C-alpha cells in the first residue's frame, strides 16, 4: 500500500512533468533555487495529502460495497472458514491498493488543461473550473 501510494505521487509528478504539465518547478532566472524547492515541496505535500485522502475514501467505499454486495455465505465458502469483521478491511485493502496504482496510470492520459485546473484552479461559479491564467 505504501509503495503504491509513493509510486502514485512519483508517477503524478514525473509523468505529468514529462508531458508538459509542469508540476515540478525548475530553477531559472525568475525562480531562484530556494523558491523552486519550496514550490516542489508544496507539490509533493499536496499530492501526498490528496493521494492519502483519496485512498482512504476508496478504502472506506470498498468496505461498504463489499459489506453490502458480497453475501457472507459466499465469502465464507471462498475463505473456507467463518467470516469475521477483519475480512472486509483486508479485502478492501487488497482491492484498493492496485486500484490506486491503476488510477495513477490512468491519470497520465489527462491533458494539460485538466491537470492544471485540478491542481491550481478554483470553482467560483457553476461554469466550471477556471485556471488562474484565464482569469
Q: What distance in Å separates the CA atoms of residue 129 and residue 44, rounded to the nearest whole number?
A: 22
User: In terms of Cα–Cα distance, which of 89, 68, 70, 86 is closest to 78?
Assistant: 70
Cell of 123: 470553482
User: Which pLDDT score, from 0 to 100, does residue 18 have?
Assistant: 47
DSSP alpha helices (H): ranges in the chain? 2-18, 33-69, 72-79, 87-107, 112-120
Q: Which of 104, 125, 82 is nearest to 13 (CA)?
A: 104
Q: What angle do CA 106, 110, 112 make, to 5 degrees?
A: 150
Per-residue pLDDT, 12: 75
The per-residue pLDDT for 19 is 45
**Contact between residue 47 and residue 12 where contact means Cβ atoms under 8 Å apart:** yes
Q: Would you say 51 and 5 are in contact if contact means Cβ atoms under 8 Å apart?
A: yes
Give pTM, 2 decimals.
0.67
pLDDT at 20: 47
Which pLDDT belongs to residue 81?
93
Per-residue pLDDT tens listing for the chain (135 residues): 887 788 778 877 776 554 445 677 777 777 788 888 888 888 888 888 988 998 999 999 999 999 899 888 988 998 899 998 899 999 999 999 888 878 777 766 766 677 667 666 655 555 555 555 555
Cα torsion angle, 69, 72, 73, 76, sign: positive
Amino acid at each position: 500500500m505504501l509503495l503504491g501510494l509513493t509510486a502514485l505521487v512519483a508517477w503524478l509528478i514525473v509523468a505529468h512533468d514529462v508531458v508538459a504539465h509542469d508540476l515540478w518547478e525548475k530553477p531559472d532566472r525568475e525562480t531562484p533555487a530556494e523558491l523552486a524547492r519550496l514550490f516542489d515541496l508544496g507539490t509533493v505535500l499536496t499530492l501526498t495529502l490528496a493521494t492519502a485522502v483519496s485512498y482512504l475514501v476508496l478504502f472506506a467505499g470498498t468496505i461498504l460495497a463489499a459489506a453490502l454486495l458480497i453475501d457472507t455465505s459466499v465469502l465464507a465458502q471462498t475463505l473456507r472458514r467463518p467470516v469475521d469483521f477483519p475480512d472486509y478491511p483486508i479485502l478492501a485493502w487488497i482491492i484498493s491498493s492496485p486500484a490506486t496504482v491503476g488510477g495513477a496510470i490512468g491519470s497520465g492520459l489527462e491533458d494539460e488543461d485538466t491537470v492544471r485546473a485540478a491542481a491550481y484552479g478554483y470553482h467560483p461559479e457553476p461554469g466550471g473550473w477556471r485556471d488562474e491564467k484565464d482569469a
